Amino acid sequence: MLHGKRSDMVVHEEEPFNAETARGALAEASVTSTAAFFSRNHGAIPRSGPSSWRLSVDGLVDEQLSLSLDELRERFAEREIVATLQCAGNRRQDLLEVREIPGEAPWGPGATGTATWRGVALADVLQAARPQDAAEHVAFVGADVSDEPQPPEAYGASIPRRKAERSEVLLAWEMNGEALPAVHGGPLRAVVPGFIGARSVKWLKRIELRAAPWDGFFQSTAYRLLPPEGEAAPGAGIALGEIALNSDILAPDDDARLSAGAIEVRGYAFAGGERRVVRVDVSLDAGASWAQAELLDDLGRWAWRLWRTELDLEPGSHEIVVRAWDSAAASQPERPGPLWNPKGYVNNAWGRVRVHAET
Ligand SMILES: Nc1nc2c(c(=O)[nH]1)N[C@H]1C(S)=C(S)[C@@H](COP(=O)(O)O)O[C@H]1N2
Ligand SMILES: [Mo]
């Protein structure tokens, strides 16, 4: 398979490569194997080896930096975290019930995954660059060029400085104990736990400290939420940042044929931001009654929770639904909400699969 991925990936596009993890593969372990991890790309993967790689840090800083990978390793302490990455387009398929989304892939629930990331804290690198007071945003610029915007431009995005200075935000060169593969941004990427995947910029070449958010297409026009009649335009709508609480069912698969009786149901729940998943409920009767699921491995505050429960299936067709609760006592809406935008971001509604049970 392409890019060392498993053959059960759901490939939405080969070039640029866009593929999600199959439900069953995602349910296998709390840390997703690299060979099964989703990949979302807006342009071709740039070719540049680790030896020639340099990262520059500039903009509103007192000390501009230009660092090789070796210099990054030597100058700053190594850190490792387990963090979930989730694309803002995850579960977009269900948004299609609400409205057509032209030109965008119908991502299912597999545009997310959890990995161990190793590198240095962005905060430590920023400290060495001595940001000026006026620097309120930290922008990341990748080496890839996307032709989604016209004219084509380098992929870039920013996060608020107050997030960038937190210890969980990494500049990572390792994923699940191995050198970061090119398809995931190797040799170096940002990992911004709790934020939409779009802010974890791959093939990171440049960090710019700025007074305002990044003004490129992928921050100013895309990855924003608009009201139903909104038109995408630079600065229109609400910029996405922290991920919205959501959950979905990974096993059984949608449309599965099963034997009636006891079945195991498994899935994920992810809170985003600094919130945590505290409870997951599963229902066989469209939410009239709920059974509380068991939360599996706790991998720390930046990782999702896989969960499991057992249900007793009567013969016939059923819709199994799931909803999670977070540490702010918020839960998920029953159906995708009225907010929409031309790219169809943010489906945090209940997860659903249909199953058919035979005697
Ligand atoms: N340079 C660059 N970084 C990028 C992207 C990209 O196209 N180019 N895609 C972003 C999006 S939308 C997501 S969801 C994540 C996906 O990371 P992955 O491919 O490692 O799973 O990378 C983000 N970083
Ligand atoms: Mo994304």
| Whether residues 173 and 233 fall in one domain | yes
Residue 4 has a CB neighbour count (10 Å cut-off) of 10
- The answer to whether residues 190 and 204 touch, using CB atoms and an 8 Å cutoff, is yes
| Whether residues 349 and 255 fall in one domain | yes
Please tell me the total count of domains within the chain.
2
**Runs of H (alpha helix) within the chain:** 23-26, 69-75, 122-129, 161-164, 217-220
Final residue before a domain boundary, out of 239, 272, 307: 239
| Whether residues 39 and 62 fall in one domain | yes
- The answer to whether residues 305 and 268 touch, using CB atoms and an 8 Å cutoff, is yes
CA distance 268 to 36: 16
Report the relative pairing of strands 294-295 and 256-259 from DSSP bridges: unpaired
Residue 320, both tokens: 């199994």
| Whether residues 172 and 308 fall in one domain | no
Please write the tens of the pLDDT for every residue from 217-262. 999 999 999 887 888 899 999 999 999 999 999 999 999 999 999 9
pLDDT (average), residues 13-37: 97
CA distance 44 to 37: 18
245: CB partners within 8 A, 6+ apart: 269, 270, 271, 272, 275, 277, 324, 325, 326, 330, 331, 332, 348
Residue 276 Cα to ligand 1 midpoint, Å, equals 24
User: Atom 21 (ligand 1): residue with closest C-alpha?
Assistant: 39
Final residue before a domain boundary, out of 224, 239, 254: 239
Strand partners for 180:
none
The percent of residues in the chain predicted with pLDDT above 70, rounded, is 99
CA distance 148 to 166: 32
Pocket perturbation via mutation, ligand 1, pick of 2, 21, 42 by most ligand atoms within 8 A of CB: 42
Task: Using the predicted structure, report yes or no on whether residue 340 has a pLDDT greater than 70.
Answer: no
Report the relative pairing of strands 54-59 and 204-210 from DSSP bridges: parallel
| Whether residues 17 and 156 fall in one domain | yes
229, with CB counted inside 10 A (0-12, 13-18, 19+), is exposed
Pick from 150, 97, 156: which is nearest to 334 by CA? 97
| Whether residues 232 and 258 fall in one domain | no
At 304, which CATH number?
A: 2.60.40.650
Is the pTM above the cut of 0.95? yes
Residue 66 Cα distances to 70, 72, 122, 285, angstroms: 12, 10, 14, 58
| Whether residues 273 and 214 fall in one domain | no
Residue type, 26: L
| Whether residues 174 and 54 fall in one domain | yes
Residue 48, both tokens: 């540049």
User: Atom 19 (ligand 1): residue with closest C-alpha?
Assistant: 39
CA distance 243 to 85: 10
User: Atom 11 (ligand 1): residue with closest C-alpha?
Assistant: 198
Residue 320 Cα to ligand 2 midpoint, Å, equals 27
Domain boundaries, position 154: 2-239
CA distance 87 to 265: 24
The total number of residues shown for the chain amounts to 359
| Whether residues 122 and 255 fall in one domain | no
| Whether residues 210 and 276 fall in one domain | no
Task: Using the predicted structure, report yes or no on whether residue 308 has a pLDDT greater than 80.
Answer: yes
Report the relative pairing of strands 10-13 and 246-251 from DSSP bridges: unpaired
- Dmax over CA atoms of the chain, in Å, equals 72
Which residues contact ligand 1 via a Cβ below 6 A? 37-43, 85, 87, 142, 144, 155, 184-185, 197-198, 200-203
Residue 356 Cα to ligand 2 midpoint, Å, equals 33
| Whether residues 146 and 256 fall in one domain | no
The percent of residues in the chain predicted with pLDDT above 90, rounded, is 89
pLDDT (average), residues 273-283: 97
CA distance 208 to 204: 11
In a 13 Å sphere around the CA of 291, the CA atoms on its Cβ side amount to: 17
| Whether residues 269 and 207 fall in one domain | no
Final residue before a domain boundary, out of 219, 239, 259: 239
Please write the tens of the pLDDT for every residue from 167-177. 999 999 999 99
Residue 285 Cα to ligand 1 midpoint, Å, equals 37
pLDDT (average), residues 328-344: 85
